[in-house]
Chains A and B, each alone.
Chain A
Amino acid sequence: MNRNLQLLWNGFLPENPIFRLALSLCPAVAVTTSVKNGLLLGIAVVFVQVFSSCTVAIFRSFIHPRIRIPAYVLIIATWVSVIDMILPVVSPEAYKQVALFVKLIVVFAIIISRLELFASKEPFVPSFYDGLGMGIGFTFGLVITGAIRELFGAGKLYGFDVLGFEPLLIMILPTGGFFVIGFIMATFNYLEFKITGKIPKSGGAH
């Protein structure tokens, strides 16, 4: 596997932002009441993460280390403004559900941490793949959490009624979000333990 593919895979499972790094859990709990919301926010995050990573990678030698955090925030904010203008045009109905959180992408921990840890040190191409992998991993986390919560909390999947029995209201409430993310995290740790035979160190420890 070459390095770029490895970076993609890294963000998807081994360092999944939600289940392994436990970053940006607040929006993850807040928007994942349905698959659709999770998917839309995930796409927005992919966009912002990739473009911010690339921008920082290009300008990394011009950004003075002392003012790097404000510079990162400005760069992220620029791309968030762009996506915040594109999304309502592409999908006005779904945008209403996640509008608040799209604006909050500026302060998502995952994005600024990738800029600080990766894009500020690496050239353009690896940064692109790292951003894409992290974004896809985040989207994957949101979608899978949203699917479980929507299935058990509303009896639906992507808006279609699939569940025959009465849904559990608690899954739609924030409590249910914490439950579901905790259980998926535990599953990830268990799988890692089964595959590598080592007790996982990172997952959920932040």
Chain B
Amino acid sequence: MSPHIRLGRTTAGIMWTVIATLMPVLLLSIYVFGFRSLIITLVSVISCVVVEAISQKALGRPVSVTDGSAVLTGILMAFVIPPGVPYWLPLIGAVAAIFINKELMGGLGFNVWNPALVGRALLTASFPVYMTAAWIPPIDWSQSPLGVYLGGGVDAVSTATPLYVLRHYGLAALLEKFGDLSVIYKNFAIGLRPGCIGETSSLLLLAGGVFLMIRGIITWHIPVSTIATVAVLSWIFGGETWFTGNPLVHVLSGGLMLGAFYMCTDYVTSPTLKSGQIVFGMGVGLLTVLIRLKGGYPEGVCYAILLMNCLTPALDEWFKPKRFAPPKPAPVAAVK
């Protein structure tokens, strides 16, 4: 046997560990947005698993839904969908994420883009009204009757995300709507703000990410470089004049934490080498800030990651370590 050290680590083991770290986030989103978020997540997971099983059968591959990758895709896709969307919406996203993006490209390990984000991108292009307006404000436990909490009466309530307010009305409007800066920091860190189902709780996502780092499933390179780039760039360019932006608001709002810890670090679609990973993270951060401050959408993490996914093969190639001894030219006789 060759001298390989076996870690006893399998794809299924990694996937289910990542899924386990996302469970607290799901519980919190049920607390914040009601059982809608649980139902949407379940629909998303089930449709991803079913689509994967059907497409693997149809394409003549061994059915491998138990490895958890489809379940993880389903959870992550639900987490980047607004909580007020109709329940059937994730089904269409699952077809794009699993069938088109993953199975048709060759299965797990061959997809160019992050499946969950492809699902979101297709849904955003197909149903712009739902995907950009179906936000729900956090439920007030003391006020809400159980009926509202169970999901009824949602259509009547709609709100705007912090990034939307910041983009279109400025920091003053944000403070007016969501309270003082200290209140904003506290609520945004816990997750008590309008947003996609699983993106609101920065603290739980951070804890999950740190846990994954301790377990050695992800490394710090991509998340840290992404978040640091967003913080620095939004501090420099985010305000009225230079160096007056509020980096913490930018880091805590939108899908940055979820994207940086759980989507950028996807093994398949991110660079293998550490140096490439840092450049990848910086690219995601740069594009995110660019879209947030100058683009047409209030939030840019999804497209930033998808665009950098396209560059992943190039980054792997550029940062390939140099060989110390260049290979000898082949003997003339062998060249024909």
A169 at the interface (CB under 8 A from B): yes
Q: Which A residues are in CB contact (< 8 Å) with B92?
A: 168
Q: Which A residues are in CB contact (< 8 Å) with B127?
A: 166, 168-169
In the complex formed, the residue of A with least CB distance to B104 is A186
What 11 new A-B contacts, CB under 8 Å, besides A168-B126, A170-B125, A171-B126?
A: A166-B127, A168-B92, A169-B125, A169-B126, A169-B127, A169-B128, A170-B122, A170-B126, A173-B125, A175-B125, A179-B100
Residue-wise interface mask of B (291-319) relative to A, using a CB-CB cutoff of 8 A (1 in contact, 0 not):
00000000000000000000000000000
Q: Which B residues are in CB contact (< 8 Å) with A169?
A: 125-128
Residue-wise interface mask of A (161-199) relative to B, using a CB-CB cutoff of 8 A (1 in contact, 0 not):
000001011110101000100000000000000000000
The CA of A170 and the CA of B100, in the complex, are separated in Å by 14
Residue-wise interface mask of B (124-135) relative to A, using a CB-CB cutoff of 8 A (1 in contact, 0 not):
011110000000
The CA of A173 and the CA of B121, in the complex, are separated in Å by 13
Q: Which residues of B contact A (CB under 8 A)?
A: 92, 100, 122, 125-128
Q: Which residues of A contact B (CB under 8 A)?
A: 166, 168-171, 173, 175, 179
The CA of A176 and the CA of B122, in the complex, are separated in Å by 10
The CA of A168 and the CA of B122, in the complex, are separated in Å by 9
The CA of A173 and the CA of B125, in the complex, are separated in Å by 9
The list of the 4 closest CB pairs from A to B, nearest first, reads A168-B126, A170-B125, A170-B126, A169-B126
Number of A-B contacts (CB under 8 A): 15
Cβ distance A104 to chain B, nearest Cβ, rounded Å = 26
In the complex formed, the residue of B with least CB distance to A153 is B126
Cβ distance B91 to chain A, nearest Cβ, rounded Å = 11
Q: Which B residues are in CB contact (< 8 Å) with A173?
A: 125
Q: Which A residues are in CB contact (< 8 Å) with B122?
A: 170
Q: Which B residues are in CB contact (< 8 Å) with A168?
A: 92, 126-127
**15 intermolecular pairs with C-beta atoms under 8 Å apart:** A166-B127, A168-B92, A168-B126, A168-B127, A169-B125, A169-B126, A169-B127, A169-B128, A170-B122, A170-B125, A170-B126, A171-B126, A173-B125, A175-B125, A179-B100
Cβ distance B184 to chain A, nearest Cβ, rounded Å = 34
The CA of A179 and the CA of B125, in the complex, are separated in Å by 14
Cβ distance A152 to chain B, nearest Cβ, rounded Å = 9
The CA of A171 and the CA of B125, in the complex, are separated in Å by 9
Cβ distance B306 to chain A, nearest Cβ, rounded Å = 13
The CA of A124 and the CA of B126, in the complex, are separated in Å by 49
The CA of A168 and the CA of B89, in the complex, are separated in Å by 11
Cβ distance A27 to chain B, nearest Cβ, rounded Å = 22
Q: Which B residues are in CB contact (< 8 Å) with A166?
A: 127
In the complex formed, the residue of A with least CB distance to B100 is A179
The CA of A179 and the CA of B121, in the complex, are separated in Å by 14
The CA of A67 and the CA of B100, in the complex, are separated in Å by 46
Cβ distance B319 to chain A, nearest Cβ, rounded Å = 31
Cβ distance A154 to chain B, nearest Cβ, rounded Å = 12
The CA of A169 and the CA of B122, in the complex, are separated in Å by 9
Interface centre among A169, A171, A173 (most CB of B within 10 A): A169
Cβ distance B96 to chain A, nearest Cβ, rounded Å = 9
Q: Which B residues are in CB contact (< 8 Å) with A171?
A: 126
Q: Which A residues are in CB contact (< 8 Å) with B100?
A: 179
In the complex formed, the residue of A with least CB distance to B124 is A170
The CA of A179 and the CA of B92, in the complex, are separated in Å by 15
The CA of A135 and the CA of B9, in the complex, are separated in Å by 58
In the complex formed, the residue of B with least CB distance to A171 is B126
The CA of A166 and the CA of B92, in the complex, are separated in Å by 11
The CA of A58 and the CA of B127, in the complex, are separated in Å by 54
Q: Which A residues are in CB contact (< 8 Å) with B128?
A: 169
In the complex formed, the residue of A with least CB distance to B130 is A166
Cβ distance B225 to chain A, nearest Cβ, rounded Å = 30
In the complex formed, the residue of A with least CB distance to B127 is A169
Q: Which A residues are in CB contact (< 8 Å) with B125?
A: 169-170, 173, 175
The CA of A100 and the CA of B229, in the complex, are separated in Å by 46
The CA of A171 and the CA of B127, in the complex, are separated in Å by 11
Interface centre among B122, B126, B127 (most CB of A within 10 A): B126
Interface centre among A168, A171, A173 (most CB of B within 10 A): A168
